[in-house]
Amino acid sequence: MLMLILAFPAVLLYGIVLSTYLPQSKYRHGTLFSIKLPPEAMNHRDINRIQMRFNRQMIRLGIVMAVLFLPIVLLQDAEVFQIIYYLVWMIALSIVMIMPFRRAFRDTLALKRANGWYVGPKRVIQADLRVAYLKSARVAPLALFLIPLALSVGLMVWSFQSDMAGLGIASLVLTLMLTLMHLSLGRVKSKVYSTDSERNVMLNQAVRRVWSYTYLLLATVENLLLWGMGWLLGRMAEESADIWLIVPAVVALIPLAVILLAYRQVKSLERQAMDSDNGYVDSDDDEYWANGFTYHNPYDRHIFVEKRVGTGYTVNTGTWAGKLLMGGTVALVAALLIGVSFMLIRAELTSPQLTVTPDQRIEIDYPMYSYDFAAADIEQLDLVDEVPSGVKTNGEATGKFARGHFRLKELGKARLYVFHQNPPYIRIKLADTYIYFNDRDPAQTKLLFEQIETARAMVRQAG
């Protein structure tokens, strides 16, 4: 089950990387490897060599990364290390697979400089004051973002009440992020397509309008998807969990489809508007694209510019805001990778500890999910051989153990501190939740059960 869930985003990312970079070796719309070249440059022998080398390297790296995915399959019995290896593989894929493109970009740019293959004015930033003045017009009204905001706030309230806080937090963060992206459209560099000012105004307005409504649609759709996930979490049992093979696909593919449709619409608008224009302006700014996809231009004050490779916008690292955004993103990814790896390894090496204190309290010590209660609060105490099926709402769950908050079939809310397939289990019923606990050693589990039973009896005698 976990293997299938991990495989879907891996295959999706693998396909996106290949479909994004492999076509860069073909001369399209006056560019090769994201560099603007005149048609006659394509007959140059060294250009052809760069193309062939790039294609060979991409195929070889594609095969290597596919082979390096196999250990993930072999680590199914060590899920913690399987997940860590998987995260490292995903990041390595994102870095390694772009290396041939970076080399091809640099070599092609060097040939362009050596042969003087410049297109349009060299090292010139085109500007149109009318475009700058009207650049924020006709975008989606900010008030419309109150719709996804209301959905996210509602989900936040519900998720905290239903012990699924992660869904609510994810919903609110995503909504705020897309709203900020909408607001940042006013900071996106205006693109000069033509010497015709009216045509520039029209196209920049149309492009911003498309992306602003795309962000609005994404915010709404993602909130609805998260609501749906919450509904499923609250009603599904573990034996029905095959549906989660579909859920990641839907959550990933719907936003991707929306973005791709928006990108195609933008390109269609540009082609339709420029096909009949004789005043087309082509500014040669290749040197500001350090790797073909990283824009660094200290002479350009715009924070966001349209990508040359892929869809959407990228930041201008030549500005202070761009540096902060890029550095913050890298730091966040690194922190998440280190943090997740640390928690997974800790979960593998650390087991919950149950202690009965002298004042007849039961304390369960485990990072992030510690819990304690009085023996007098126990309504029912049993030693059972099975844990009911259910779903995790906030915790850790692998094929070996389950720890944290869960929702169990026919029982509802529960806290689990159990090793799977290792009976018996201590079952404790409190007023508002169930607790399941066992030790790796069945004999120790039975001893802890007797200690809790003794503490409960002492409380009753004292009462």
Cis omega (within 30 of 0) for bond into 424 = yes
Distances (CA, A) of 29 to 104, 198, 241, 248: 18, 23, 47, 35
Under 8 Å CB-to-CB from 115, ≥6 apart: which residues? 41, 44
Q: How far apart are CA 72 and CA 54, in angstroms?
A: 28
Among residues 444, 428, 441, the alpha carbon closest in space to that of 362 is found at: 428
| The pair of three-digit structure tokens given for residue 19, joined into one six-digit string | 């479909």
Distance CA 422, CA 406 (A): 18
Through-space distance between the first and last CA atoms of the chain, rounded to whole angstroms? 50
Reported as a single tens digit per residue, the pLDDT across 219-266 is 898 888 888 877 766 555 444 444 555 555 666 677 777 777 777 777
Six token digits for residue 182 = 């909408």
Q: What is the pLDDT of residues 64-86, one digit of tens each?
A: 999 999 988 888 777 778 888 88
Q: What is the rounded CA–CA span in Å between residue 391 and residue 253?
A: 24
Residue 292: both structure tokens together: 């073909």
| Residues pairing with 289 in the sheet | 295
| Of 304, 109, 297, 51, the residue nearest 190 (C-alpha) | 304
Q: Round to whole Å and give the CA distance between 372 and 362.
A: 6
Q: Maximum Cα–Cα distance for the chain, whole Å? A: 97
Q: What pLDDT does 129 receive?
A: 41
Question: In angstroms, rounded to a whole number, what is the distance separating the alpha carbons of residues 373 and 61?
Answer: 55
Rounded Cα distance, 13 and 69, in Å: 13
| Dist CA 153 CA 223 (whole Å) | 10
Q: What is the pLDDT along the chain (463 residues), one digit of tens a residue?
A: 567 667 878 888 888 888 888 888 999 878 888 888 888 889 899 999 999 999 999 999 999 999 999 988 888 777 778 888 888 898 899 889 889 998 998 899 889 888 888 765 544 444 444 444 444 457 788 899 999 999 999 988 887 776 667 778 888 888 898 888 888 777 676 666 666 666 667 777 777 888 888 889 988 988 888 888 777 665 554 444 445 555 556 666 777 777 777 777 777 766 665 555 555 455 556 767 766 667 787 777 777 777 777 666 778 888 888 888 878 877 877 777 777 777 777 767 788 999 999 999 999 999 878 999 999 999 999 999 999 888 777 778 777 888 888 888 888 889 999 998 899 999 999 998 999 999 999 999 999 999 999 999 998 887 6
Q: Is 435 exposed, middle or buried (0-12, 13-18, 19+ CB in 10 A)?
A: buried
Residue pLDDT, tens place only, 426-459 = 999 999 899 999 999 999 999 999 999 999 999 8
CA distances from 278 to 23, 275, 453 (A): 28, 8, 89
**Separation of alpha carbons 352 and 370, rounded Å:** 8
Is pTM beyond 0.95? Reply is no
